[in-house]
Amino acid sequence: AYRDANREEIRAKDRARYEGNREEISTKARANARLSAAREEMRDVLMAMPQIEQMILSEGENHDQ
């Protein structure tokens, strides 16, 4: 009986560890997906910088006239 209880306790701990790991892995995956999307957005902004700068400069020239 003691051995069965011990085995059940070990099984419960393993199950808890497995569930915890699974949750942690999916949390990390979601965080990585958000990070990846943020990087992509940042890259798009950086790529657009010259056009944005050009628009600001040309707007400034229009106001000077």
Q: What is the pLDDT of residue 49?
A: 94
Report the Cα–Cα distance between both ends of the chain, in Å, rounded.
Answer: 94
Record the pTM: 0.55
> What is the domain count for the chain?
1
pLDDT in tens, 4-51: 999 999 999 999 999 999 999 999 999 999 999 999 999 999 999 999
Q: How far apart are CA 17 and CA 3, in angstroms?
A: 21
For 41, the domain range is 1-64
Coil, helix or strand at residue 65: coil
Tokens for 27, please give them: 């949390």
Residue 55 C-beta-side C-alpha neighbours within 13 Å: 5
